[in-house]
Amino acid sequence: MSAYAVREALGEEDRKAAFAVRHEVFVVEQGVPEEIEYDAHDATAVHVLAVRTADGAALGTGRLLYGPDAADRTGGEDGVGALGRLAVTRAARGLGVGAALVRAVEEAARARGLRAVDLHAQTHALGFYERLGYEAYGSEFPDAGIPHLAMRRTL
Q: 12-51 pLDDT, tens per residue?
A: 999 999 999 999 999 999 999 999 999 999 999 999 999 9
Residue 65, classified by CB atoms within 10 Å of its CB into exposed (0-12), middle (13-18) or buried (19+), is: buried
**Using a CB cutoff of 8 Å and minimum separation of 24, what contacts does 126-133 make?**
126/151, 128/98, 128/99, 129/102, 131/99, 132/99, 132/102, 132/103
3-state secondary structure of 116: strand
Q: What is the dihedral of CA 135, 137, 143, 146, to 10 degrees?
A: 60
pTM assigned to the model: 0.94
DSSP H or E stretch at residue 130: helix 126-131
- Name the pairing type of β-strands 80-88 and 135-143: unpaired
Q: Which amino acid is at 126?
A: L
Rounded CA-CA distance 140/110 in Å is 28
pLDDT digits (tens, 9 = 90+) for 122-137: 999 999 999 999 999 9
| Residue 84 clears pLDDT 80, i.e. is over it | yes
